[in-house]
Amino acid sequence: MAAEQAAESWLDEREPREPRWQPRPYEPSPCDQCPNVARCARERLACAAFLAFVRRSHGTCWQSAPRVPAREFFVRSAAA
């Protein structure tokens, strides 16, 4: 019993470890405020802004891209 308590107290005195996985801060998505989000999900469509976002383009690149959904962009984003 005393050995178990000593082991537990040793565990409490260790320095806390850094977590191995750190979540990334929230990245805004082109779909966050888009009026076509339901249609794109239903019909499997995507726009140029979503394609740029999936390819990890700079934020200003996808923010200025047009949001005209098309099947072609959905297929290209799946291949990215």
Residue 12: pLDDT above 80? no
pTM for the full predicted model: 0.61
pLDDT of residue 59: 72
What distance in Å separates the CA atoms of residue 49 and residue 30, rounded to the nearest whole number? Answer: 6
pLDDT of residue 61: 83
pLDDT of residue 47: 94
**Residue 61 identity (one-letter amino acid):** C
Q: Is 61 exposed, middle or buried (0-12, 13-18, 19+ CB in 10 A)?
A: middle
What distance in Å separates the CA atoms of residue 13 and residue 43, rounded to the nearest whole number? Answer: 56
Residue 10: pLDDT above 60? no
What distance in Å separates the CA atoms of residue 43 and residue 70, rounded to the nearest whole number? Answer: 9
Q: What is the pLDDT of residues 14-73, one digit of tens each?
A: 656 665 666 567 778 889 889 999 999 999 999 999 998 888 877 778 888 899 999 999
